[in-house]
Structure 1
Amino acid sequence: MAEHQYTDFSESTGFAYCDEAFGSHTLTDNISEKNRMKLRAIRMLISYQRDGDFEFRTPSVERIFHGEIGKTTELYLSYVRNILRLSDETIRNKEQYLYEFHTFLNGHALLLEDLNVDIVENFFASMGYSLASRHNSGSTLRIFLRYAFDNGLTNKDCSIFVLADNYKKHCKLPTTYEESEISNMIASVERSSAIGKRDYLILLLAAEYGWRTKDIVGFRFTQIDWDNNVIRFNQSKTDIPVEFPLLSTIGNAIIDYLKHGRPKTDAEEIIVAADTVKKGQPLSPPTVHSIVSKYMSKANIKNWKAKKHGAHSLRHSLATNMLKKNVSMPVISTVMGHQSTETTKIYLAVDVKKLRQCSLPMPELHSSYFSWEA
């Protein structure tokens, strides 16, 4: 700034410095660890000046929508954000898929009006999506293109060019951990500090109740019935009402955190941030993921980095470990808050011992086309 005679810092100044010093103001693969930390520092300064808060992590992609397609996309994202009021996570996912589609079309000098089945399929082929990502991208594009047509932004309904796929929601086995691994993770928490008391409560809610991240960060005082030792609320994902007994471990962890760990705040949520900038504010879902990852590392859980390692993996582990203890499917389904036991049946595939009990003996075969040696 001194070299350029700048007296006031701004976002454009910070980005210009990063572009000149590091080659980019977003996180790239070839940036050194030293420059990575410098980039992080500049971006934290920018975000604090702009929002009064620090961005959660340095982004690797800066999504800027250009041209007519970009304008249409921005209108749609504004609609889902301000009218539909979808969650930040859902909007981020939509933005990612729409940005990739927008980049593909602009790169081939195409407009939405030019779309046909071949162009859409070429887009999917160019991305190399997994089955799940292909399914999610297709769903996002279909809704977006339908919105564009319904609002007069395109002359034809291009959503018909996004073909259906054969993806099955539960085609993958859920990531699970053994009870001993989860116990070691919870035991690794240093509970003498305020942050430790908070993290301990978060891990218990995920491991002993199987709560989703949004239910953990949205946990409120009004949901606890202390007189009857019950916790009641409607799940954030399904809006299904659930009821949990207030376990002594959970109740004691809540009391300990409220007395000795929770900052003074008017927030209705029980669990709040402890750092200086966000102190007393409700946690964001990514923070919970980072907390779970932190203690998996601290507990030296084998291969945790190569597996799913957020709060949802503890939810999966609870269901699987209950199944191993012969808890019935309806009970597990109730604890998980599933709308149907069909959803819960995915955990049957993880219990190898019970699957072996279902195996049938191989009948003897008498055929010239088959030999045991082969």
Structure 2
Amino acid sequence: MEKEIRKLVELCEQELTSREYTFNRHRIISMTWEDLIQWMAQREYDIFDECIGFKYCDETFGSRDLSGIQKKDQLPLRAIRMLISYQKEGDFEFRTPSVLRSFSGQSGQLMETYLTHLRENVCLKKATISNKRHYLYYFNNYLEKNTIALKDVNADMIADFYCCQNYSLASKHNCNSTLKLFLRYAYDSGMTDQDNSIHILPDSYKKQRKIPTTYQEEEIHRILKAVERASAIGKRDYVILLLASEYGWRSSDIVNLKFEQIDWDRNTISLSQQKTSSAVIYPLLSSVGNAIIDYLKHGRPQTEEPEIIVSCETGKRGKKLSRPTVHSIVSKYMKRANIRHWQQKKHGPHSLRHSLATNMLKKNVSLPIISTVLGHQNTETTNGYLSLDFSSLKQCALPTPGLKTGFYEE
């Protein structure tokens, strides 16, 4: 762990270069690090650590997370947090947290114990635990702010909590489930004398089918053309975008693609979907095959990992990519391609999956075939894309009969 600030900054500068940060972004980050070095020198700090980094953030930005931070300070704040995470873990943190969710009070301690139980004993996924932490954090804040003990939780208090949060129906539904299980755990662990989970009333929420976010074929082509394929990172990103747009793969399937799934002799690529376990065999398109070969020959770092697509970053070089990284890659090239209103729409790999389905519909491809390509276990799942086939829907419109009435003047 490098503690000398200038040597640490030098290592992080190399990392910025290897990740191909834009000139302006790189400049702002470097200037922030220089300001930090001067700040440390004025206070005669010899070494850098997390405490020093957060003290600088508190004095300079008034916060160590994004809560209450002005837009102009967001990147400088991230620059300091990059130093902290690189020093501790050898890599930049994925994104600056909006809120550092730390629990307080007796109820907060139990919540931390509960989350540890879910992670170590129930073995829930990290994303699931993060979702539960989100709702428990705000519930803990409500309890502490109103000095309410867990044993005093009742239906009226729960209703007031929801009024304060102003949750959507979907968020309230998810929060209901989280609080119910937690309060039952509190009772089972002896923290409360009665099972207060009975105060979490069932809701009538039914998930409504949302209209999928899609992009036109011309926009997909622009996204692909936006990739600078001369670099190792560009070669990797191009493969990711092709798998998402040409095959409609989810991010979980992209990051888990292995050499054994490609049959070069038969020109096929097989997939057992992570989400549904459905097995699908795709033709190995020349565009995809050539992109993979180019990446393997000239872009993929030397590694023993079985996955084809791996990280190029110094701290994680040769390691398997994470799913959020795939989302960031797709968003990056949507921005670079100047796709209209991409920030107001879904802009991850799943949006390219939806786009593939709707563009196939426009070409009169049958639903069973689209369902097979997407790996849907039930064709009913694919029916949701019918709502976006406007040209076909217009053919279903019935003529409006003439209205003869004296109510309207001729």
State TM-score, norm by structure 1: 0.90
Per the alignment, residue 269 of structure 1 pairs with 307
State how far apart, in whole Å, the 1-side matches of 2:81 and 2:372 are. Answer: 44
- Cα deviations by residue, 1:298-332 (Å, 9 ceiling, x for unpaired): 22211112111111111111111122222222222
Residue of structure 2 in register with 1:31 after alignment: 70
1:185-334 aligned within 5 A: 185-334=223-372
Unaligned runs of 5+ in 2: 1-39
Cα separation, partners in 2 of 1:90 and 1:239, compared to 1, 3 Å: farther
Please state how far the C-alpha of 1:155 moved relative to its aligned partner: 3.5
Report the Cα offset of residue 271 of structure 1: 0.9
Matched, 1:56 2:94: yes
Match of residue 169 from structure 2: 131
Distance in 2 between residues matched to 1:187 and 1:372, nearest whole Å: 57
Contact 2:57-2:64 within 8 A present in 1 as well? yes
Name the TM-score, length of structure 2 as normaliser: 0.83
Within the alignment, does 1:107 sit opposite 2:141 as a pair?
Answer: no
Counterparts of 1:160-171 in structure 2, within 5 Å, are: 160-171=198-209
Q: CA deviation at 1:29?
A: 4.3
1:7 counterpart = 2:77? no
The CA deviation at 1:258 is 0.6
Amino acid at match of 2:310: V
What's 2:379 paired with?
A: 341
Provide the secondary structure at the position in 1 that maps to 2:222: helix
Determine the structure 2 residue equivalent to 1:45. 83
Q: Within 2, Cα distance between the matches of 1:154 and 1:225? A: 59
Question: CA shift at 1:182, angstroms?
Answer: 0.6
Unmatched segments (≥5 aa) in structure 1: none
Partner of 1:354: 392
Specify the code of the residue in structure 2 equivalent to 1:20: E
Aligned partners of 2:91 and 2:314 also within 8 Å: no
Structure 1 residues 120 and 353, CA gap change in structure 2 (3 angstroms) = farther
Task: Kindly state the Cα deviation for residue 53 of structure 1 after the two structures are TM-superposed.
Answer: 1.7
CA deviation after TM superposition for structure 1 residue 153, in Å: 4.2
Cα distance between partner residues in 1 of 2:48 and 2:110: 33
Q: Distance in 2 between matches of 1:256 and 1:29?
A: 45
Query: Which amino acid in 2 is paired with 1:12?
Result: C
Aligned-pair distance for 1:203?
A: 0.4
Q: Name the structure 1 match of 2:107.
A: 69
Q: Give the Cα–Cα distance (whole angstroms) in 1 for the partners of residues 275 and 114 of structure 2.
A: 22
Letter in 1 for 2:123: R
What is the DSSP-based 3-state SS (H/G/I as helix, E as strand, rest coil) of the residue aligned with 1:167? coil
Structure 1 residues 239-278: Cα deviation after superposition (integer angstroms, max 9, x where no partner):
3333333222212111111111101112222111112222
DSSP 3-state at the match of 1:301: coil
Q: Which whole-Å CA distance do the structure 2 matches of 1:328 and 1:357 have between them?
A: 17
Structure 2 Cα separation of the partners of residues 234 and 145 of structure 1: 38
Residues 354 and 136 of structure 1, relative CA distance in 2, 3 Å threshold: farther
- Deviates most, 238-247 or 272-281: 238-247
Q: Cα 1:215–1:112, aligned 2, differ >3 Å: closer, same or farther?
A: farther
**Alpha-carbon displacement from aligned partner over 1:103-155 (angstroms, at most 9, x marks no partner):** 12222222333222332222222222223322222233333333434444444
SS, match of residue 172 in structure 1? coil
Mapped contact 1:263–1:279 kept (Cα < 8 A):
yes
**Counterpart for residue 21 of structure 2:** none
Once the two structures are superposed, what CA deviation does each residue of 1:311-366 show, in whole Å capped at 9, x if it has no partner?
Answer: 11111111111222222222222222223222222212122222223333445667
Kept after mapping to 2: 8 A contact 1:233/1:242 = yes
Q: 1:98 to 1:226 in 2, by over 3 A?
A: farther
The answer as to whether partners of 2:63 and 2:69 remain within 8 angstroms in 1 is: no
How has the CA–CA distance of structure 1 residues 360 and 263 changed in structure 2, closer, same or farther, with 3 Å as cutoff?
Answer: same
Partner of 1:18: 57
Query: Does the Cα contact within 8 Å between 1:44 and 1:54 map onto a contact in 2?
Result: yes
Q: Distance in 2 between matches of 1:153 and 1:337?
A: 46
Q: Report the equivalent of 2:136.
A: 98
Secondary structure, aligned partner of 1:232: strand
- The 8 Å contact of residues 170 and 346 in structure 1, kept in 2 or not, is answered as no
Which shifted more, 131-140 or 101-110? 131-140
**Helix, strand or coil for the counterpart of 1:48?**
helix
Shift in CA distance, 259/84, structure 1 to aligned 2, threshold 3 Å = farther
Percentage identity across aligned positions?
58
Q: Does structure 1 retain, via aligned residues, the 8 Å contact 2:236–2:300?
A: yes
The CA deviation at 1:4 is 4.2
**Given residue 343 of structure 1, which amino acid in structure 2 is its aligned partner?**
T
Correspondent of 2:123 among 80, 85, 102: 85
